[in-house]
Amino acid sequence: MFQREDITGLVTPIQNVPLPMIDPPEAHDGIWGGEAIIKGFQKRNQYKRRVPHFWVPVLRRSVVHSRVLNEYMAVTVTDRTLAQIHDHHGFDHYLLKTPACDLRSMLAIKLKRKILEELATGCPRLASEPTKQQDYLKEFACYLEQYTPEEIEWYGLTYNEALAKIRTQTEDKDAELPQKILFRQKLIEQLREAGIREAQDGESGDVEELKGIKDSTSSSWLSKLSFKPKNW
């Protein structure tokens, strides 16, 4: 990229390349406040060539408090994490205001999901303190407007967890009979009912025919047995 000055017209290159940041597995076990390991080069002597170097954030163990969850948690944090918690006036506000791409931690994202679920259900953990419960619901109600209940249900799931959730949902749907099978069963029942009616109608017709045959045979037989007077 280049930049051109309006007055002089001088064109100068701009180096606006994003830093190559590495998220180790340990970063998802703590809350690093968006920090990560930076890979680069360092020139330690002006007469020697540069050498590869990794910049690692300083980690410390600290205790954070979630008012919505009503819990104290010991997690691995950085100085930037503590500074952001203070700037947002609380651990809950920090998690709810910061997007997932800036948290860069599965632990922080899952805690954010638990907080959203707790707020969506009305903070049942604070049922013993109704005044505090109502105050927290009013204070954090603005964050629930950004998400739907379905989005909260899926928020913070990894790829494998989302696949497992979809698999369980599809298995529950497969347990129900498809519509084509239900329609086929109804059609078979209707055909059976129609066949029974036809059979009943056929049986009644056969009985009437048999009666007619019997009457005709009896009349013909009697006609044969009828004696006519002979002329002597």
Same domain, 109 and 173: no
Strand ranges inside 18-137, DSSP E: 21-22, 37-42, 51-55, 60-66, 71-77
What range does the domain containing 93 cover? 16-156
Same domain, 32 and 134: yes
pLDDT at 28: 93
Q: Is residue 223 part of a domain?
A: no
Please name the helix (run of DSSP H) or strand (run of DSSP E) that holds residue 3, with its range, or none. strand 2-4
Q: How far is CA 151 from CA 96, 145, 156, 204, in A?
A: 14, 11, 10, 65
Q: Is residue 209 part of a domain?
A: no
pLDDT at 29: 93
Distance of CA 2 to the CA centre of its chain: 44
Q: What digits encode the pLDDT tens for the residues 143-188?
A: 998 899 999 999 989 999 999 999 888 877 766 677 888 888 888 8
Rounded distance between C-alpha atoms, residue 14 and residue 116, angstroms:
41
Same domain, 113 and 172: no
pLDDT at 204: 56
Q: Domain tally for the chain?
A: 2
Same domain, 24 and 96: yes
Same domain, 169 and 94: no
Same domain, 114 and 176: no
Rounded distance between C-alpha atoms, residue 110 and residue 115, angstroms:
9
Q: Is residue 213 part of a domain?
A: no
Nearest CA among 48, 46, 45, 84 for reference residue 64: 84
pLDDT at 198: 60
Q: Is residue 20 part of a domain?
A: yes
Same domain, 42 and 134: yes
Q: How far is CA 82 from CA 64, 105, 189, in A?
A: 9, 15, 70
Q: Is residue 10 part of a domain?
A: no
Q: Is residue 203 part of a domain?
A: no
Same domain, 36 and 131: yes
Same domain, 151 and 170: no
Please name the helix (run of DSSP H) or strand (run of DSSP E) that holds residue 102, with its range, or none. helix 100-103
Same domain, 84 and 174: no
Q: Is residue 187 part of a domain?
A: yes
* Furthest CA-CA distance within the chain: 164
Q: Rg of the chain over CA atoms, in angstroms? A: 42
Same domain, 184 and 85: no
Residue 11 corresponds to which amino acid? V
Q: Is residue 151 part of a domain?
A: yes
Same domain, 22 and 121: yes
Q: What digits encode the pLDDT tens for the residues 171-181?
A: 777 666 778 88
pLDDT at 202: 56
Residues (pLDDT < 50) of the chain are 207, 221
Residue 44 corresponds to which amino acid? R
Q: What are phi and psi of 26, to 5 degrees?
A: -65, -20
pLDDT at 38: 93
